[in-house]
């Protein structure tokens, strides 16, 4: 009862103007002429943005810490020395990114800290905002390095050697960033957290189309990647009669068509398939192809969906003429993640307190830092809508009212967990 009173007080102290101004301010670091933002991981712009966050944290009286992978933690003390309630996201962007992807969750966290101050709420648990290093993976691969190395510190040794698209070594960029950032205390990765909450833009069209302002995220889809290789025999385009060819492109096309024809059925089972890459050998206009390779990206909220698709892939191959010339390799798998049920219930209550209506529940189509945190502590996410579903694009935008409602819900949930 008392918890919900304090939660409502914190929600009521979220200041729309202050929060929206902070979004504009952070966007000045790496602002592009087209209104988007380029603030790639550990770039000059991103380091300046980190300094801005540190200044803001100091003004709020927070402790500032940095772990070996460069993740920044800003902590408002609690009455007890117990694991903190943590919220956050990332401030790095794609090369042609927007103002909200990642930045929204970090700035929402800062606004919650300010609201707790304004409401004069002393929490028993510390409340921490985190900015994870290199979530996007556009400069250094893989993405979500910071949250990955926080949860599994041995990964950092491997990440140190990653070479950026600009030729810079991750370990060197990290060392440079760390020396540019003054006054942050070193902390060890992997420390205990009471809970992790991440607010994020949806980056897809589902929430906007539902007409709701907020969604509770139930988890993150699992992914499998396949390479499908179809063998043919290279021959002259003019001299080889149609009946005597072994054309790899025709074979690949026949097979892919069978799979695409099932896409309606698969979609009804929440399975999404994408054929994003084709490689044809020798890729010559007047030579019959000796090999055609295409990729499939398959996503589903659960293993059953991924397994069903894999069985379909095999079954359809057996229906194709010359099936022996087709080989299928699974080259990547990321397990589906389900977020903590109790936190989802709390977030639903928080969204209802902010908007007056029940939020929808959706599965995230994209990866987030919360994916790694889900293996570390109870974790959940809130989405706000993306206008037109647009993201990783300078035009990325969300209605300001929706942005603020998301911060209010976050304030409610964090207070309830920390009080």
200 annotated as a binding-site residue: yes
Q: Which residue of the chain is nearest Zn ion when measured via CB?
A: 102
* DSSP string over 44-55: HHHHHHHHHHHH
Least distance from C-beta 217 to Zn ion, angstroms? 13
Residues 99-158 interacting with Zn ion (rule: CB under 5 A): 101-102
Could you give the CA distance from residue 136 to residue 120 in angstroms, rounded to a whole number? 36
Residues 88-107 interacting with Zn ion (rule: CB under 5 A): 101-102
Omega cis (within 30) before 180: no
Q: CA triplet 217, 219, 220: central angle to 5 degrees? A: 115
**Closer of 38 and 101 to Zn ion (Cβ):** 101
**Closer of 102 and 109 to Zn ion (Cβ):** 102
**Closer of 248 and 363 to Zn ion (Cβ):** 363
Non-local (6+) Cβ contacts of 351 within 8 A are 214, 215, 216, 358, 359, 382, 405, 409
Size of the site for Zn ion (CB under 5 A): 2
Least distance from C-beta 392 to Zn ion, angstroms? 9
Query: Using an 8 Å Cβ cutoff, are 306 and 222 in contact?
Result: yes
Verify binding: residue 406, Zn ion, rule CB under 5 A: no
Least distance from C-beta 244 to Zn ion, angstroms? 53
Could you give the CA distance from residue 9 to residue 360 in angstroms, rounded to a whole number? 24
368 annotated as a binding-site residue: no
**Closer of 101 and 202 to Zn ion (Cβ):** 101
Q: Tokens standing for 137?
A: 């993976």
The bridge status of strand 278-281 relative to strand 127-132 is: unpaired
101 annotated as a binding-site residue: yes
Backbone angles phi, psi at 311, to 5 degrees: -65, -40
Residues 19-38 interacting with Zn ion (rule: CB under 5 A): none
Query: Using an 8 Å Cβ cutoff, are 384 and 199 in contact?
Result: yes
**Closer of 144 and 306 to Zn ion (Cβ):** 144
392 annotated as a binding-site residue: yes
247 annotated as a binding-site residue: no
Non-local (6+) Cβ contacts of 58 within 8 A are 64
Least distance from C-beta 200 to Zn ion, angstroms? 6
**Closer of 101 and 208 to Zn ion (Cβ):** 101
**Closer of 53 and 251 to Zn ion (Cβ):** 53
Least distance from C-beta 399 to Zn ion, angstroms? 19
Q: Tokens standing for 361?
A: 């529940």
Could you give the CA distance from residue 275 to residue 257 in angstroms, rounded to a whole number? 11
Least distance from C-beta 367 to Zn ion, angstroms? 8
Q: Tokens standing for 48?
A: 């300046």
Non-local (6+) Cβ contacts of 197 within 8 A are 85, 86, 87, 343, 347, 379, 380, 381, 382, 410, 413, 414, 417
Query: Using an 8 Å Cβ cutoff, are 336 and 300 in contact?
Result: yes
Least distance from C-beta 341 to Zn ion, angstroms? 24
Could you tell me which residues are annotated as the binding site?
Answer: 90, 101, 136, 200, 392
Contact positions vs Zn ion (CB under 5 A) = 101-102
Task: Pick out the residues of the known binding site for Zn(2+).
Answer: 90, 101, 136, 200, 392
């Amino acid at each position: 009862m008392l918890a919900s009173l304090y939660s409502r007080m914190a929600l009521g102290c979220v200041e729309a103007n202050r929060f929206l101004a902070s979004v504009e301010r952070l966007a000045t670091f790496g602002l592009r002429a087209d209104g988007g933002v380029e603030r790639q991981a550990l770039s000059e712009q991103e380091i300046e943005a980190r300094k801005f966050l540190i200044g803001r944290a100091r003004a709020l009286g927070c402790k500032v810490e940095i772990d070996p992978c460069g993740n920044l933690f800003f902590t408002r003390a609690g009455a007890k020395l117990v694991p903190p309630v943590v919220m956050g996201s990332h401030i790095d962007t794609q090369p042609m990114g927007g103002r909200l992807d990642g930045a929204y969750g970090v700035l929402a966290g800062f606004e919650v800290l300010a609201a707790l101050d304004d409401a004069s709420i002393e929490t028993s648990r510390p409340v921490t905002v985190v900015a994870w290093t290199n979530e996007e993976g556009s400069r250094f691969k893989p993405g979500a390095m910071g949250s990955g190395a926080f949860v599994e510190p041995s990964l950092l040794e491997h990440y140190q050697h990653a070479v950026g698209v600009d030729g810079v070594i991750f370990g060197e960029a990290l060392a440079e960033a760390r020396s540019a950032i003054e006054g942050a205390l070193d902390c060890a990765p992997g420390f205990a957290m009471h809970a992790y909450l991440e607010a994020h833009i949806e980056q897809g069209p589902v929430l906007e189309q539902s007409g709701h302002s907020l969604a509770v995220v139930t988890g993150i889809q699992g992914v499998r990647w396949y390479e499908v290789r179809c063998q043919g025999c290279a021959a002259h385009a003019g001299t080889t009669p149609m009946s005597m060819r072994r054309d790899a492109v025709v074979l690949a096309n026949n097979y892919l068509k069978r799979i695409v024809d099932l896409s309606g059925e698969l979609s009804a089972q929440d399975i999404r398939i994408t054929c994003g890459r084709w490689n044809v050998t020798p890729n010559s206009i007047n030579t019959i192809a000796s090999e055609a390779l295409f990729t499939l990206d398959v996503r589903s909220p659960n293993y059953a969906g991924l397994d069903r698709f894999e069985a379909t892939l095999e079954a359809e191959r057996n229906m194709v003429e010359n099936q022996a010339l087709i080989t299928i390799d699974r080259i990547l798998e990321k397990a589906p993640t389900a977020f903590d049920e109790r936190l989802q219930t709390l977030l639903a209550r928080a969204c209802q307190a902010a908007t007056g209506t029940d939020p929808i529940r959706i599965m995230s189509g994209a990866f987030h830092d919360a994916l790694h945190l889900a293996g570390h502590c109870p974790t959940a996410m809130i989405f706000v809508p993306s206008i037109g579903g647009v993201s990783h694009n300078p035009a990325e935008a969300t209605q300001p009212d929706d942005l603020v409602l998301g911060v209010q819900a976050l304030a409610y949930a964090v207070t309830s967990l920390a009080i």
